[in-house]
Amino acid sequence: MGKPDLKVDFAGIQLANPVVLLSGCVGFGEDLARLEGFDFGDVGAICLKGTTLTARQGNPPPRVVETASGMLNAIGLQNPGARHVVDEILPRIGNWPTKLIANIAGSNVEEYGEVARIFDNSPVAGIEINISCPNVKEGGAAFGSDPLVAARVVDAVRKGTSKPIITKLSPNVTDIRTVAKAVIDSGTDGLSAINTLMGMAVDIVSGEAVLGNFQGGLSGAAIKPVALLQVWRVYEVAQPHGIPIMGQGGIETGSDAVEFILAGSSAVGVGTSLFKNPLNGGDVAVGVGEYLAESGHDSVASLVGTLKARSR
Closest of 8, 41, 1 to residue 288, by C-alpha: 8
Report the first-to-last Cα separation within the chain, whole angstroms. 32
Q: How does residue 312 score in pLDDT terms, banded at 50, 70 and 90?
A: confident
Domain 8-58+75-198+218-295: CATH superfamily, name plus number? Aldolase class I (3.20.20.70)
Average pLDDT rounded to a whole number, residues 210-224: 96
- Long-range contacts from 109-113, C-beta under 8 angstroms, 24+ separation: 109/135, 109/137, 109/143, 109/149, 109/152, 109/153, 109/156, 110/156, 111/52, 111/53, 112/153, 112/156, 112/157, 112/160, 113/156, 113/157, 113/159, 113/160
- Give the pLDDT score at 200: 96
Q: Would you name the residues annotated as active-site residues?
A: 133
- Give the pLDDT score at 136: 61
CB 94 within 8 A of CB 239: no
Phi and psi torsions of 147, nearest 5°: -55, -40
Q: Is residue 261 pLDDT above 90, yes or no?
A: yes
Beta-sheet pairing, 70-73 with 64-67: antiparallel
Rounded CA-CA distance 149/245 in Å is: 21
Average pLDDT rounded to a whole number, residues 6-29: 97
Average pLDDT rounded to a whole number, residues 73-80: 95
CB 153 within 8 A of CB 143: yes
Residue 131, amino acid: I
Provide the mean pLDDT of the chain: 96
- Give 156-174 pLDDT, tens digit per residue: 999 999 999 999 999 999 9
Average pLDDT rounded to a whole number, residues 240-266: 98
How large a percentage of the chain has pLDDT more than 90?
95
Q: What angle do CA 68, 70, 72 make, to 5 degrees?
A: 105
CB 1 within 8 A of CB 25: no
| CB neighbours of residue 22 within 10 Å | 28
Rounded CA-CA distance 193/127 in Å is: 15
Domain parsing of the chain, residue ranges: 8-58+75-198+218-295
Average pLDDT rounded to a whole number, residues 187-206: 97
- Give 88-147 pLDDT, tens digit per residue: 999 999 999 999 999 999 999 999 999 999 999 999 999 999 998 776 666 667 899 999
In which element (H, E) is residue 147 found?
A: helix 147-160
- Give 23-38 pLDDT, tens digit per residue: 999 999 999 999 999 9
